[in-house]
Amino acid sequence: MALGLAGLGVALGTPRAVFPRDFPLPVANGRRLEEIARQDQLLAEELAQSPEDQRSGASFELRELGALLRRYNEADATGDQGTLGQLRPELLRGAYNLLLKEGVVPLLRLRAYQQRSFLRELALWESTGKESDELKQIGGGIIRTITASGWIWSPRSFAADSAVRAALFKRRFAEVLGLQKKLEFALDIDEARALYAFLLAHPPPQPGGPSVFRLKKLEELAAADPAYPRKLARGVALLGMGQGAAAVVEFREYLAETPDGPYTLRARNYLAAAVEQAERHGAMP
């Protein structure tokens, strides 16, 4: 009889200590990502089909900015810090002046045009092993970055899909030109979900282990995606770092705010594991 009641309790969702095996990842809408890719393609075509003397931009200012950006990226690829420091203020000033004069559309076209080249050249590197001058001028030190981050699968396969690659490019484009606060250059919420799902699933090596990286990135994700279960994810990361007492607080707050959510039973089991860990360390809150 006692065994039967115990089994019934488990079936009804009685918490049991379960250490998280997976990190909660956001899920992007695939159809929305396809729509964004089509929009980017149209913007790139608008620039590609312009007259030859305007191929690099719709104005002298944009052509100048595009050329300057290529020089900056090449310096980044080669590690030329002096040139990077020299060109950065010029890039920021050029982007600001262009926005005042012509608005966001020319820069969005330039971004899409260069993004298309970036994706093509990155695929070419995967197939040939040759880092082209074009890839350096468009992607900067991308090969160095993805190699150091452990994102290369044998022999030269970048683990990220096309949506993540595009999001990485867009984020860097905005950062280099100082456009992070311009809404038009922010990642769409589904682009952010795709990017952060990749980053959280494939944290690069660093001091403190993957949980330290994840704690930082999930805060960025939560700012972009309010629906993401931030406190649940924080609890998982803290539990992975051996900080059971702090994890208990996060799980309790998550359950108080979301008593009937899709992660409820999982969070209760994680809470039980966090309590056990905190008690072993004599640190229950």
pLDDT for 1 equals 35
Q: Does residue 4 have a pLDDT over 50?
A: no
Q: Does residue 55 have a pLDDT over 50?
A: no
* Percent of all residues in the chain with a pLDDT value above 90, rounded to a whole number: 82
Domain positions in the chain are 29-206, 229-285
Q: Does residue 180 have a pLDDT over 80?
A: yes
Q: For residues 105-118, give the mean pLDDT.
A: 96
Q: For residues 102-122, give the mean pLDDT.
A: 96
Q: Does residue 161 have a pLDDT over 90?
A: yes
| Residue 111 contacts residue 184 (beta carbons within 8 Å) | no
Say if pTM beats, i.e. exceeds, 0.85: yes
pLDDT for 2 equals 36
pLDDT for 58 equals 53
pLDDT for 176 equals 97
pLDDT for 21 equals 87
Q: Does residue 7 have a pLDDT over 60?
A: no
pLDDT for 49 equals 81
Q: What pLDDT digit, counting tens, does each position of 186-198 carry?
A: 999 999 999 999 9
pLDDT confidence bin for 10, thresholds 50/70/90: very low
Q: What pLDDT digit, counting tens, does each position of 15-43 carry?
A: 889 999 889 999 999 999 999 999 999 99
Q: What pLDDT digit, counting tens, does each position of 57-111 carry?
A: 458 889 899 999 999 999 999 999 999 999 999 999 999 999 999 999 999 999 9
Long-range contact set of residues 183-191: C-beta below 8 Å, sequence gap at least 24 = 184/104, 184/108, 185/104, 185/107, 185/108, 185/111, 186/224, 187/224, 188/32, 188/36, 189/224, 189/225, 190/28, 190/29, 190/32, 190/33, 190/36, 191/28, 191/33, 191/36, 191/163, 191/166, 191/167
Q: Does residue 11 have a pLDDT over 50?
A: no
pLDDT confidence bin for 285, thresholds 50/70/90: low
Please enumerate in sequence order all residues whose Cβ is within 8 A of that of 20, keeping only pairs 6 or more positions apart, or say none.
236, 239, 240, 270, 273
Neighbours of 65 (CB within 10 A): 24
Q: What is the mean pLDDT of the chain?
A: 90
